[in-house]
Structure 1
């Protein structure tokens, strides 16, 4: 190859920047000089650029090919039925559509159905279509409430794909609970991960070991406890809630002397949930010195003398000495003592009276609200359904006259201790007596789909509000819950409510049209949910290749190739 490829018409080795400038401004305004001293024209400029490019390329070494990622892991779960696959693509496409704004209209809101669809598909054991994994991970990145559903449905391939895109790192962080755990039967692997692993991995490891051998899990904790950070110790102590037993008492008693107030408070809370613990007995002794039967009158009542100080021993047992703003010290201390006392103590203290009888006893000096609120917190902490029933009382009782607390948040927690069917019946009775305006928090603790009596109570209350000409947008939250939680079988019964009613005198202008639109949307959503369930429940025999594991494997291999 010749060493000099210049010609009289081609500029002599001009810098690349000069070539670019002449090309942008034009050779008339910014000429280049050729080898003979004449101005170079456009053709000569391009020739010079070609020569320059050739020289630059001649000095380059061949690039090394990129390392291919490891193949996607196999997912043995069967593929979705074709109709369900198309439905998922539709839901994900609608998610990315721009919001319409203004009135919602009568069309179902598909984005609100994605969590339900994902949970149902995962419960039936289907695997996510490979070509929809990117859209699923994008949806989970945008909505944190979708992440548990998406990661469960996406399975190992979703995690594999998330490792290739930094925007999906959340999936790798969230997967520590179920992924990459060591073999807990290998003590050396467990010890190594506990001493060297990341915090999330250690939390997952502690939970895995505790499920199989609680004593071994506590041994892990005690081995490194003194060197752990305060925030890590708090998480480790909190993990003992799962499977809490009397065997944990000694460790938790030691944690009462921890340097961190939050660790001490959590340890005290867990010990108070163990009725036989020494802390529970100490708190019971303090509480029963403050709350006693009063027999000075003809009938038994409850006498209360709140503590006058919070000593060091009370602080060590988890009593917070400084009350929040607006609370008196003595009532604050009393509530904490009663909350941490085993509820069975009160039956013994008051002559064997039941919880229902105890909450109906008069309380001296206006201490009833504080005492009942503390009993409510104790019933929630100790998961005692008998006390929960007593403190909830009859659902038809006026809120201000109930045996427990008027706080709907506290009532929701009490309801959560009851079996799902009983919970739904109580909320249905509450709605029938008090309407929907006070029931939104209570509906949130009911299992989905709502039981028949609860669903009918909600619909009847909505119908009453419509007939009264109430503002429909005041019930938009409940209507949204109904779209997600009503049994889809109720759609046909609700169709009669989609007509536009006559507006009564004094009604909100246009309310009838809004109600009609809202019920149309409700019915459409319920029918769509029924169709989605039918698509997911489709008999696998209807799909080409028949049912069974072999078909699942074949489709899995095909999708693996596309990945």
Structure 2
């Protein structure tokens, strides 16, 4: 067996272990590997398994022709013993739920890099294994200036780390051949990763299998494209408007709705422009109000082209209102400011048609327009929570607090039936998802107070959102508090995370 056959050797070892060494003797190790010094087949199997595990930890495939160079000495001191104990705990017996391990590892590695220290060599294989599964950990590990880490990572292609911030992630781009072999369930996650690195390459992967993918698989991939659409996606999305599957066509419409420069956007603009008449104030009327008067006619039944662009039948309510909202949502917001010659807030005041206003709200979210979201926040009745990610950072927490308090009051007012409806209780939580961390102390205290009372939907928040965004000082809110049974486990996990995070900071002081 050659040195390159180590993977087959591992499979043969597993096979011998499953059926028994009396029926299938353990295979000899690859060339260049040491032979077990025993005649007993059971002992050879166990020795070979130990040898395999040692090789996996070292990342090496020994060969008689290319002996490994010895590990170089470290240039920096080891991390303190207390920090090493915490790292070993995170890697072997995490004191927090699995989803919170990666944030703590990133914090530990960040502190290690900041203080120009290195992890103990015994932790390097486990760190590199973790880095192959989590790109955020890989990036944090790459910032640690450890000579032995680089030496060990070079021994295994799966472990290789970028040399610096400018180098692309060495995990490499997914080839079309690798993409074709991926199960359909794994492709959306891979596509997100590829799109983050190279939007064009991600789209090319989708196109490479488009002709053989099933309808639900095509729709799932278009949904990923729609998360962060790129102008280069427009041709593929235009073709998808003619897909035999209605699910795929709907996914294409959703993605194109977020591309104000697309051909569909131009067609929607032409349809809306034919319905809008702008009357500009003149003379004395202009002194009373500089705002133009906007008249909007009712749209007719959509033709075949309109149906292709997503104009469909409403599930309830007025058909013409529904189409008018869809036309407005599909039109670039810049068209309104150009036609009326005023800013977003003035456009809102000039347009009084409710269906058009609803379309403007939807367009602001679809087109991710921060200017419109900021201008309309105080004018729109209950702006969408997703707008929080668009408004200036200094306004997000203030708006989130207002939303939380309003929703809490609304929930209390409808508390006749088990603290109000589920929908009412979850709105506040939805708003918090759009406020990046770390949160300020006031917002954090409010959230923890509501969490302890299981109010405003805070119990529905993912534990990683709460744990990584809450201000550490806000824990004082929970002093001598009785936590609601519904959220007791969630609160405990948050406190476990913050305790571990505090320990990491202390260990590196």
Shared fold, TM over 0.5? yes
Contact 2:278/2:293, CA 8 A, preserved across alignment? yes
Distance between the aligned counterparts of 2:487 and 2:170, measured in 1? 52
Query: Structure 2 regions of 5+ residues with no counterpart?
Result: 1-19, 27-44, 60-70, 72-77, 111-118, 139-157, 159-168, 412-426
1:322 paired residue number: 313
Deviations 1:188-231 (A, max 9, x none): x9343344543356656656665666555555544553333212
1:332 counterpart (309, 314, 322): 322
Distance between the aligned counterparts of 1:516 and 1:273, measured in 2? 41
2:304 paired residue number: 312
Aligned-residue offset at 1:341: 0.8
Aligned-residue offset at 1:275: 2.2
2:84 paired residue number: 81
Contact 2:388/2:434, CA 8 A, preserved across alignment? yes
Contact 1:294/1:302, CA 8 A, preserved across alignment? yes
2:108 counterpart (106, 112, 124): 124
1:399 paired residue number: none
User: Which protein has greater RCO, CA pairs closer than 8 Å, 6+ apart?
Assistant: 1
2:213 counterpart (219, 228, 231): 228
Distance between the aligned counterparts of 2:90 and 2:337, measured in 1? 56
2:269 counterpart (284, 290, 305): 284
Query: Structure 1 regions of 5+ residues with no counterpart?
Result: 1-59, 93-109, 135-147, 157-174, 176-180, 394-402, 464-471, 499-512, 543-563
Distance between the aligned counterparts of 1:196 and 1:211, measured in 2? 21
1:64 paired residue number: 24
1:451 paired residue number: 440
Distance between the aligned counterparts of 2:368 and 2:58, measured in 1? 42
Aligned-residue offset at 1:346: 0.7
Distance between the aligned counterparts of 2:183 and 2:491, measured in 1? 49
Contact 1:421/1:451, CA 8 A, preserved across alignment? no
Distance between the aligned counterparts of 1:359 and 1:275, measured in 2? 19
2:237 paired residue number: 252
1:537 paired residue number: 505
Contact 2:298/2:324, CA 8 A, preserved across alignment? yes
2:223 paired residue number: 238
Residues 1:183 and 1:480: Cα distance change in structure 2 (over 3 Å): closer
Matched, 1:404 2:380: yes
Residues 1:420 and 1:121: Cα distance change in structure 2 (over 3 Å): farther
Residue pairs, 1:152-551, within 5 angstroms: 152=134, 190-200=175-185, 218-241=203-226, 244-293=229-278, 298=285, 300-319=292-311, 321-324=312-315, 326-350=316-340, 352-361=341-350, 363=352, 367-368=353-354, 370-393=355-378, 403-406=379-382, 411-431=384-404, 437=411, 439-455=428-444, 473=453, 475=455, 477-478=457-458, 484=467, 485-492=469-476, 494=477, 498=480, 529-539=497-507
Distance between the aligned counterparts of 1:198 and 1:123, measured in 2? 33
Aligned-residue offset at 1:489: 1.8
Distance between the aligned counterparts of 1:444 and 1:538, measured in 2? 29
The secondary structure found in structure 2 opposite 1:265 is: helix
Distance between the aligned counterparts of 1:272 and 1:245, measured in 2? 12
Deviations 1:38-85 (A, max 9, x none): xxxxxxxxxxxxxxxxxxxxxx99333566665344589989632465
Contact 2:369/2:390, CA 8 A, preserved across alignment? yes
**TM-score when normalising by structure 2:** 0.59
Residue pairs, 1:43-62, within 5 angstroms: 62=22
Residues 1:234 and 1:530: Cα distance change in structure 2 (over 3 Å): closer
Contact 1:338/1:375, CA 8 A, preserved across alignment? yes
Contact 2:226/2:254, CA 8 A, preserved across alignment? no
1:18 paired residue number: none
Distance between the aligned counterparts of 2:84 and 2:238, measured in 1? 55
Contact 2:439/2:471, CA 8 A, preserved across alignment? yes
Deviations 1:10-38 (A, max 9, x none): xxxxxxxxxxxxxxxxxxxxxxxxxxxxx
Distance between the aligned counterparts of 2:274 and 2:109, measured in 1? 56
Q: Report the aligned-residue RMSD.
A: 5.1
Aligned-residue offset at 1:289: 2.6
Aligned residues between the structures: 380
Distance between the aligned counterparts of 2:393 and 2:244, measured in 1? 41
**TM-score when normalising by structure 1:** 0.54
Distance between the aligned counterparts of 1:534 and 1:289, measured in 2? 62
Aligned-residue offset at 1:295: 5.8
Aligned-residue offset at 1:311: 1.4
1:548 paired residue number: none
